[in-house]
A = this chain, B = another copy of it.
Amino acid sequence: METIKLNAKQLDLIEKLGLIFEQGLQPAAARIAALLLVSDKLELTFDEIREVLNLSKSATSNALNMLLTLNRIEYITKPGDRKRYFKSNLSDWKETMKDKFMEFEKVNKTMREVLSQRPHSTNDFNLKLEEFIHFMEFMNQEIPVLFKKWEQSKK
C-alpha cells in the first residue's frame, strides 16, 4: 500500500483545524475532517486515513461513519475496486451554515418563553431581555437576506 505522506505545514494545519473541529466532533473525527481538507490527495481510503493519522481500525471506522451521517464527508467507489474513497463534502457547507443559523432560532424561541413567564416586577430586566430577543430576531431575519445578497454578488 502506497502510504500517503504529509509535510510539516500540513501536519500543523491538521492540528490547528482539528482543534477547531473538535468543537462538535470527537478528536479522531476532527482530525480526519481536517486531513481531507489538507491532503494533496483528496480521496483517501480507509487504510490511508488510518495510517497517516495513526488510528486503530475501530476508531477509523466509527469516525468515518459519524462524519458520513453528519454529511461532513462522502465517498466514491471506483470500478473494479472494493475500497471506498472518502472525501470532504465541501459542497454541502452552505447547508451546514444554514442549519447553524437555524439552531440560533431555537434559542430565541426558548428565550421568548422565558420572557413570557417573567413577573412584571422585574421590568428593567425584562426590557433588557426583550432587547436581546429583538436583536436575535433581527439577525434571524437579516441573515437570509445576506445569503441572497451574496448569491447575487457572485453573478
In the bound complex, what is the Cα–Cα distance between A91 and B155 (angstroms)? Answer: 41
Known: A135-B150, A138-B153. A40 touches B91 (CB 8 A): no
* B residues less than 8 Å from A10 (CB atoms): 117
By beta carbon, the residue of chain B nearest A128 is B90
* B residues less than 8 Å from A38 (CB atoms): 114, 117
In the bound complex, what is the Cα–Cα distance between A128 and B91 (angstroms)? Answer: 7
The SS class assigned to the A binding surface is: helix
Task: Give per-residue flags for A107-130: 1 if the beta carbon is below 8 A from chain B beta carbons, else 0.
Answer: 100100110011101100100110
Task: Give per-residue flags for A5-47: 1 if the beta carbon is below 8 A from chain B beta carbons, else 0.
Answer: 0000110010011001000000000000000011010100000
**Interface pair A110/B40, CB less than 8 Å apart:** no
CB A113 to nearest CB in B, in angstroms, measures: 6
**Interface pair A110/B13, CB less than 8 Å apart:** yes
**Interface pair A107/B40, CB less than 8 Å apart:** no
